[in-house]
Amino acid sequence: MGIEFLEVKAGRVVARMPVEGNTQPYGLLHGGASCVLAETIGSTGAAVHAGPGRIAVGVEINATHHRSATSGYVTGVATLLHGGRSIATYDIEISDEQGRRVCTSRLTCMLRDRPDVPPHS
């Protein structure tokens, strides 16, 4: 997918992805590729929020595709909407190089203790 992280914090994750290599047969950015970018950055933020010894597992994602992208890069910004002990939800905006919104997504992740790490270690 060629995803490159630009900023990683629990409250905000930014990454970019090339359109080339992530298109559908008509040469447009594939909607599934936008979902991959959204879930990748949202679950990364959720994992950072969850902390050491915990994991984030996506349980729900939705995406609205507003416009197409045919070249260059798209940039995703995931912003924490809710960060609890068991659930984290992110709003993800994906834009083209001109700053136009390509996709809006929301991701909810379940936060769990890792089974191979004792709690609070």
Residue 120 DSSP symbol: T
Helix, strand, coil % in the chain, rounded to nearest 5: 15, 50, 35
pLDDT (tens digit per residue) in 69-101:
999 999 999 999 999 999 999 999 999 999 999
pTM, two decimals, is: 0.94
Q: Which of 4, 20, 39, 93 is flagged as catalytic? A: 39
Sequence-distant (6+) residues with CB within 8 A of 50 are 56, 88, 111
Judge whether 39 counts as a catalytic residue.
yes
pLDDT (tens digit per residue) in 59-69:
999 999 999 99
